[in-house]
Structures are given as C-alpha cells and as structure tokens.
C-alpha cells in the first residue's frame, strides 16, 4: 500500500495524483485500488503548504526495497528535492505496508514506532521500516487507507485499519477533508 501526499502548489493535485498513479502502475505493476483524494494540513503543522493525500494498493512480486527505490525515482521525476525531514515537497510517496511483512524486525519497528515527535523530526532510519512506524497515529494516512484496505491488520498491533482509525480523535479524523475522486 502506498500513500501519496502532494503539495498543492504548481499543477493541480488531481493531475499530480493521476500522473503518480500512472507511473506507479507502469513502473511497479498493477494498481489494484485507489482511494479518494483528501485535503489535509501539512505535518507537522507549519512545515509547508496543505497536502492532498491518497492511498493506492498495488499488486506486485517486487521486493519492498525495489518498490521504495521506484517510488523515490517517481518523486524525483515530479521535482521532489529532499532538503530536510518533513519539509515542503511536490510529491511524497510512502510505502506503508507489504502484506504482513515486518522490516527489518519487530524490535526495530517498535523502536521507530515509539519515537517522540522531536526524535521523529530529526532521525531517519538507515533502511526501510515496515509497516510505516506511525501509520496508526495519522488520520491523513488512515482515512485514505480505509478507502482501499479497511480490513488490513497491522501485523504487530493486531488492529485493522478501521480500528486504528476509530481509535483516533474525532478532531483528527475531521481534519481529513474529502477533496475529490481520482
């Protein structure tokens, strides 16, 4: 499952999403399902313009590190320049999960999941951590993810996307505003 976050500057968010999804389908494999588009504030607050978020489910036999490398190439082709953690960006493609795979291991994934917000902002993992360590905490991830995979269960938390979303505050969920269909 891939989360697409897009800054609203420049071309329209719908165009960026459609182009990114097309590239993912071309480069990786079959795009099985696409969420609606959702408008959200930047995260953390004040780190850039508002974003448009979407999630897609792909079907592939490719290795997670290969998928991530392809996503980074698509970001770069869209003009993404990595200048700092959580800075403004034209396109942000996150690999959220690959089935029930845990990478690199449960202990490492747990350490990254438990980081304080300050440490999340300054530290970057050396390798891929799956599932994404903070997907359970972020409405801007879970709302579009619930469109495409509400029954997916986090392999370490034992909670479905629907349950993780329901556990967030009503304020957090309401801050994810339906924007447009893809």
Query: Which residue in the block uniquely carries the two structure tokens 């089935």?
Result: 99
Is residue 57 part of the annotated active site? The answer reads: no
DSSP codes, 18-47 = HHHHHHHHHHT-EEEEE--EEEE--SSTTS
DSSP state of 152: -
Contacts of 20 (CB under 8 A, 6+ apart): 4, 6, 74, 78, 91, 93
Is residue 50 part of the annotated active site? The answer reads: no
Q: Which of 29, 50, 73, 80 is catalytic?
A: 80
Q: How far is CA 172 from CA 126, 144, 165, in A?
A: 30, 13, 9
Q: Which of 50, 62, 73, 94 is catalytic?
A: 94
What is the maximum span of the chain, computed from C-alpha positions, in angstroms? 41
Is residue 82 part of the annotated active site? The answer reads: no
Instruction: Show the tokens assigned to 50.
Output: 């508002």
Q: Which of 57, 92, 113, 147 is catalytic?
A: 92
Query: Which residue in the block uniquely carries the two structure tokens 């893809």?
Result: 182
Is residue 18 part of the annotated active site? The answer reads: no
Give the SS3 label for residue 90.
coil
Name the residues annotated as catalytic.
80, 89, 92, 94
């Amino acid at each position: 499952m891939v989360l697409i976050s897009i800054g609203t500057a420049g071309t329209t968010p719908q165009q960026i999403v459609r182009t990114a999804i097309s590239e993912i389908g071309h480069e990786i494999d079959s795009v099985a399902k696409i969420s609606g588009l959702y408008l959200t504030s930047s995260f953390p607050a004040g780190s850039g313009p508002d974003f448009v978020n979407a999630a897609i489910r792909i079907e592939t036999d490719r290795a997670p590190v290969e998928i991530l490398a392809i996503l980074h190439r698509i970001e770069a082709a869209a003009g993404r320049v990595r200048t700092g953690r959580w800075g403004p960006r034209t396109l942000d493609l996150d690999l959220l999960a690959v089935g029930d795979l845990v990478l690199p291991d449960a202990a490492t994934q747990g350490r990254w999941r438990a980081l304080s917000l300050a440490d999340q902002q300054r530290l970057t993992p050396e390798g891929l951590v799956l599932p994404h360590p903070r997907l359970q905490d972020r409405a801007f991830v879970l709302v579009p993810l619930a469109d495409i995979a509400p029954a997916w269960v986090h392999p370490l938390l034992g909670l479905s996307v629907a349950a993780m979303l329901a556990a967030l505050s009503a304020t957090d969920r309401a801050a994810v505003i339906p924007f447009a269909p893809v």
